[in-house]
Structure 1
Amino acid sequence: MIKSLRTAAAVLTTAVSALALTALGPTGTASAVVQDVTCTPPSSNTATYNPPLTMTPRDGTLTGTAQYGPCVSVSNPAITSGSSGGTTTVSGRTCLDLLQSGTSAFTITWNTGQTSTISANRTSTIAGGLLVVTNTGTVTSGVFAGSTVVRVITSPATDITLCTLGLGTVSSVYSLITLKIISL
């Protein structure tokens, strides 16, 4: 147990040291890394599938609604929350599609009325009974344009796992969101 704690402490110390070196410029001064905005849970997303997803490919609609907040922005302190969402038609979709990698594009409307349009790569994994979807990309237009985006969406995977086994359907998925937009 003590050896495990020492190993964990050593790994954490190494990671913090590497992060500190990354943030320092060649002369030891801080680089221009700016945390444009961070939004943490209870930020959430709800995706609703009509008809519900099964293992049989079906056409239908996907309605997504994301609420971001509380949000903290160093570069734009007036931003404290945001939202995104819409409805799209999907063709031949199954519950296995929830586990696929791909691309995502979405626009966040901030409480200030400003928008950020984001283009990202998406990966999905199931770990410890949770579906974890990670979007990594860039703000392509609007406030924070050119900044790096990391959005992690986490939800229970029970319905998805049952569906992939042919034992159920997925009518909706409720998730918690962590969003970070960072200027380098």
Structure 2
Amino acid sequence: MSRHRIRTAAAGAIILILALLGSATPASAGTLDVTCTPPSSVAVTYDPPLTASPQTVTSTTNQQYGPCVSASVPGLTSGSRFTVVTSSGLSCLELLAARPFGFTITWNTGQTSTISGNLVANLSGGVLTVTVTGTVTSGLFAGDTVVQQQVGAATDLTLCTLGQGTVSSHYGLVTLEITSV
């Protein structure tokens, strides 16, 4: 099967999974301050590519949020996050480890939201689902709760965890909800 057909099939599977997951979003007692839905996405590259053996790796993350809708900040329509991090002892197995996770979103309004939370990853059937739950610790929406979910095809990650390949990058569609408490 060609790479194009594999990617097309994977994209279709991702859209189906997101549709199914969309109905599984937990209800909250607060007010939804902002929601961002696909085509919101994240692309991460690894240099050198990840293997099953730990090594020093530079990860570059480019995350785009949008379209976003906010009842409390009507002009907020999109956001982004760009980071470059060098980590020692990184392997494809570490991508699946639960861990504390923080990041900052820069909104199209020029404001920022710094988020602190926990990351849980699940690899099943060649699909990687990464969920971050936490709170906005500073900036716009400070004190609000956050749920961000990323879903993407990860056949190369599956092979890497079995010691049969490498991971040079991955891509996922993102859903973000920030809710007042």
- For 2:132, the equivalent position in structure 1 comes to 135
1:183 pairs with 2:172 = no
1:43 pairs with 2:36 = no
1:103 pairs with 2:135 = no
Moved over 4 A (4+): none
Secondary structure in structure 1 of the residue aligned to 2:84: strand
1:87 pairs with 2:84 = yes
Take 2:124 and 2:33, find their aligned partners in 1: how far apart are those partners? 29
| TM-score of the superposed pair, with normalisation by structure 2 | 0.83
Cα pair 1:34 1:74 within 8 Å, conserved: no
Take 2:91 and 2:83, find their aligned partners in 1: how far apart are those partners? 20
- Quote the RMSD (CA, aligned, Å): 1.6
Cα pair 1:43 1:177 within 8 Å, conserved: yes
Structure 1: runs of 5+ lacking an equivalent? 1-14, 24-32
Structure 2: runs of 5+ lacking an equivalent? 1-23
| TM-score of the superposed pair, with normalisation by structure 1 | 0.82
Aligned residues: 157
Cα pair 1:34 1:75 within 8 Å, conserved: no
Secondary structure in structure 2 of the residue aligned to 1:98: helix
Take 1:77 and 1:150, find their aligned partners in 2: how far apart are those partners? 20
- Pair member with larger Rg: 1
How big is the shift at 1:177?
0.4
Secondary structure in structure 2 of the residue aligned to 1:132: strand
- For 2:142, the equivalent position in structure 1 comes to 145
Percent of aligned pairs with the same amino acid? 59
Take 2:40 and 2:79, find their aligned partners in 1: how far apart are those partners? 9
How big is the shift at 1:128?
3.6
